[in-house]
């Protein structure tokens, strides 16, 4: 790999003098195109051989639709790239007023508190003073679905943080996955078009289990690292509170002297990682399509404020030069074993919005919003995002003055000469609205070379062309690393997800192409998916570079990074009349001590009368409270109550689903008839714990810290036994 701190050579210039160009003449296209009549009588031109040449909207033929125009192999993007600008601008303007991507979102206010100074590597004010708090607004989202879709789609989750610093807004616009599908932004419209509902039928909604998406993926090998993440449990998180966030790209930190340090940003949840099963996600979407929204609202409203730690991976040009992959490639990550994550701050969400539309819907994030001391790398995808986001916000919010909306306005002093425009709420005051001017102190603001933003001074040279660097060419090695870093149960879930998604694809050749890529990732995974689809194993897809073995990384597994306790989780307690009051009281006390929460479920919403005559109100009626809404469940019933609920289909589903989803189940001995009727009485395992008295409660709650009894899945899933 060429050193990163020296620009790539463009090669020797030719010693020959350039030949004089011939005089231009009007071209004759009559031999290149045939005319064909449309249904409405209109005339179309198509390229000879029935394959039309791709053109811009102005009709200019396109030579390369795969790469943006850049200076040098790894250099910055060129502003003159009219094809990319037209393509991304048109994509940005496709829908109004809903966001094209990340349409379904939910936000909250809070603060960022610095816990470790980074003054040695950056001049950014936000990283100077330990203990100082900076206001923030965070918006979580799904990517593919519309604003009215459901929360538990299998999808990437947006994790966008707006920090209102003393030096202006810093928008760290990331995801819950540290890599992305594509390497070059010119492919972003194609990716999203492929993932969205198919345009002729406008379904499926918020799902990638269809031909268009997998056709695109099967023809885009660079996507397969991201596919491993998207088909893992990372794509169906249990809660926003239990998922990580990543800045995805490599950024730069600059100190007062302009010295650069590369940085990758990580948000790590204090409550640990947790996801749901796919069957569980499907049922949650039916029972409560606002599940993630409700969870965040309830947690903040109850004072159980969600918290993440901000971690940074810091590395220099020397590491970038020797690292096995290009740090400018957004389809790659840097394993934490190679560059440890240093915790430097904490993010706390402690206030819900006053009005969803005014704040969550109108908040405008732009990746180019960074304070002095933070700068961009030449990651082509990041450069494309910087180019696109401003145009997107202008389109969505009606004009250039979207920063006048309170949720987008900086909380530090502002001074500039920008004026007028649609919905201007403030204009510069005074005579001068231009710079430079000679009006002295009354002439308005002036630039400040000392405190103002300065870009990293990087020498750039090279041939101006469209290309994908050779250092971006390994598409499978990190995909394999991710897969082998998972626990066996997580590997099973990836295989299950691929089989499910591809079983919805109608064309066998697309399914086969996907499996051919999996052959380059892991033989067992390819064999599992092919077997699940009833497909013969194809030959492996041709790889630009052979897959290399990388050591597993424990940080990539959810199960290995679960919670230290049961805090922040929810227990569903199903009660009947006559339920043991002592057991119920002990259970509530133990749940509170664990800093978890509970909801009482009953046959009737009016509640129940316990064995001591006390009345307990119900939060949920059993018909509207399936066990998928809870992290663990307990059934405390009297003999008469158990006989009643054992006949009820919703009650049977409650325990049957909890068992099938590998949850911990507590039950009073009297409740056994319900398990018999549900057909699982003979299969109860050590994750199903009898609570005969209050003395048994503590052991049950302690066991719940493991979240799932994963061994059970291998016994109840047909695919696991195949």
- Catalytic positions are 102, 175
Q: What is the dihedral of CA 224, 229, 230, 232, to 10 degrees?
A: 120
Tally the residues of the chain: 722
Structure-token pair, residue 163 = 């920090």
Q: For 184, what's the count of Cα atoms within 13 Å in the CB-facing half-sphere?
A: 24
* DSSP one-letter code for 198: B
Per-position b or e across 457-489, b if 16+ CB within 10 A of its CB: eeeeebeeebbbbebbbbbbbbbbbbbbbbeeb
Q: What is the dihedral of CA 312, 315, 320, 324, to 10 degrees?
A: -60
In whole angstroms, give the CA distance from residue 334 to residue 343: 16
In whole angstroms, give the CA distance from residue 238 to residue 292: 8
Does residue 609 sit in helix, strand or coil? Answer: strand
Task: Provide φ and ψ at 382, rounded to 5°.
Answer: -65, -40
Structure-token pair, residue 183 = 């390497």
Does residue 353 sit in helix, strand or coil? Answer: coil
Q: How far is CA 17 from CA 21, 24, 172, 477, in A?
A: 12, 20, 49, 45
Does residue 608 sit in helix, strand or coil? Answer: strand
**582, 635, 644, 590: which is closest to 610 by C-alpha?**
582
Residue 176's contacts (CB-CB under 8 Å, 6 or more residues apart) are 156, 157, 158, 159, 234, 237, 243, 244, 245, 246
Are the C-beta atoms of 244 and 176 separated by less than 8 Å? yes
Query: CB count, 10 Å around CB of 549?
Result: 8
DSSP strand pairing (43-47 vs 33-37) = antiparallel
Are the C-beta atoms of 595 and 656 separated by less than 8 Å? no
Query: CB count, 10 Å around CB of 431?
Result: 11
Paired with 47 in beta bridges are 33
């Amino acid at each position: 790999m060429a050193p990163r701190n020296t620009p790539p050579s463009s090669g020797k210039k030719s010693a020959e003098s350039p030949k004089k160009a011939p005089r231009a003449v009007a071209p004759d296209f009559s031999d290149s195109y045939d005319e064909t009549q449309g249904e409405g009588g209109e005339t179309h031109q198509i390229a000879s051989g029935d394959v039309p040449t791709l053109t811009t909207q102005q009709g200019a033929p396109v030579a390369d639709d795969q790469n943006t125009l850049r200076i040098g192999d790894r250099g910055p993007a060129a502003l003159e790239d009219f094809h990319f600008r037209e393509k991304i601008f048109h994509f940005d303007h496709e829908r109004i007023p809903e966001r094209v991507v990340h349409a379904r979102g939910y936000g909250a206010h809070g603060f960022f508190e610095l816990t470790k100074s980074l003054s040695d590597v950056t001049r950014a004010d936000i990283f100077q003073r330990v203990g100082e708090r900076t206001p923030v607004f965070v918006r979580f989202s799904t990517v593919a679905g519309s604003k009215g879709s459901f929360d538990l789609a299998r999808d990437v989750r947006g994790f966008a943080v707006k920090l209102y610093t003393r030096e202006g807004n810093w928008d760290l616009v990331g995801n819950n996955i540290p890599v992305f599908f594509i390497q070059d932004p010119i492919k972003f419209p194609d990716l999203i078009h492929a993932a969205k509902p198919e345009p002729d039928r406008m379904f499926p909604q918020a799902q990638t289990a269809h031909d268009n998406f997998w056709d695109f993926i099967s023809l885009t090998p660079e996507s397969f690292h991201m596919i491993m993440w998207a088909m893992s449990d990372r794509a169906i998180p249990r809660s926003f509170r239990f998922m990580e966030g990543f800045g995805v790209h490599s950024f730069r930190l600059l100190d007062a002297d302009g010295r650069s340090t590369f940085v990758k940003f990580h948000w790590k949840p204090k409550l640990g990682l947790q996801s749901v099963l796919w069957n569980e996600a499907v049922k949650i979407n039916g029972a409560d399509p606002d599940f993630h929204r409700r969870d965040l609202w309830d947690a903040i409203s109850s004072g159980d404020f969600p918290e993440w730690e901000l971690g940074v991976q810091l590395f220099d040009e020397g590491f970038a030069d020797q690292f096995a992959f290009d740090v400018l490639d957004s389809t790659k990550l840097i394993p934490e074993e190679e560059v440890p994550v240093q915790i430097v701050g904490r993010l706390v969400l402690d206030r819900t919005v006053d009005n969803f539309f005014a704040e969550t819907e109108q908040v405008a994030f732009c990746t180019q919003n960074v304070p002095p001391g933070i700068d961009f790398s030449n990651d082509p995808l990041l450069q494309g995002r910087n180019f696109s986001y401003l145009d997107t916000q202008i389109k969505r919010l009606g004009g250039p003055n979207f920063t006048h909306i309170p949720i987008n306005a900086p909380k530090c002093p502002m001074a500039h000469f920008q004026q007028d425009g649609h919905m201007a709420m403030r204009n510069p005051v005074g005579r001068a609205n231009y710079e430079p001017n000679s009006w002295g102190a009354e002439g308005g603001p002036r630039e400040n070379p000392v405190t103002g933003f300065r870009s990293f001074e990087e020498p750039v040279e090279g041939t101006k062309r469209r290309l994908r660097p050779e250092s971006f060419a390994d598409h499978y090695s990190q995909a394999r690393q991710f897969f082998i870093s998972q626990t066996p149960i997580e590997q099973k879930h990836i295989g299950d997800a691929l089989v499910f998604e591809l079983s919805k694809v109608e064309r066998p050749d697309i399914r086969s192409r996907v499996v051919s890529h999996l052959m380059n990732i892991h033989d067992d995974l390819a064999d599992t998916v092919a077997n699940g689809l009833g497909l013969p194993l194809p030959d492996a897809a041709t790889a630009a570079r052979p897959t290399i073995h990388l050591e597993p990384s424990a940080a990539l597994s959810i199960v290995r990074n679960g919670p230290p306790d049961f805090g922040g989780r929810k227990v569903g307690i199903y009660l009947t009349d006559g339920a043991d009051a002592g057991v119920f009281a002990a259970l509530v006390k133990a749940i509170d001590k664990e800093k978890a929460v509970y909801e009482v479920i009953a046959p009737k919403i009016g509640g129940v009368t316990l064995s001591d005559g006390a009345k307990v109100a119900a939060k949920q009626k059993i018909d509207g409270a399936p066990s998928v809404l809870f992290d663990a469940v307990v059934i405390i019933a009297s003999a008469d109550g158990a006989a009643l609920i054992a006949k009820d289909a919703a009650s049977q589903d409650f325990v049957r689903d909890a068992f099938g989803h590998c949850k911990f189940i507590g039950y009073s001995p009297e409740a056994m008839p319900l398990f018999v009727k549900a057909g699982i009485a003979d299969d109860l395992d050590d994750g199903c714990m009898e609570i005969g008295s209050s003395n048994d409660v503590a052991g049950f709650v302690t066991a719940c810290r493991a979240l799932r009894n994963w061994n059970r899945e291998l016994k109840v899933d047909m695919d696991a036994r195949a």
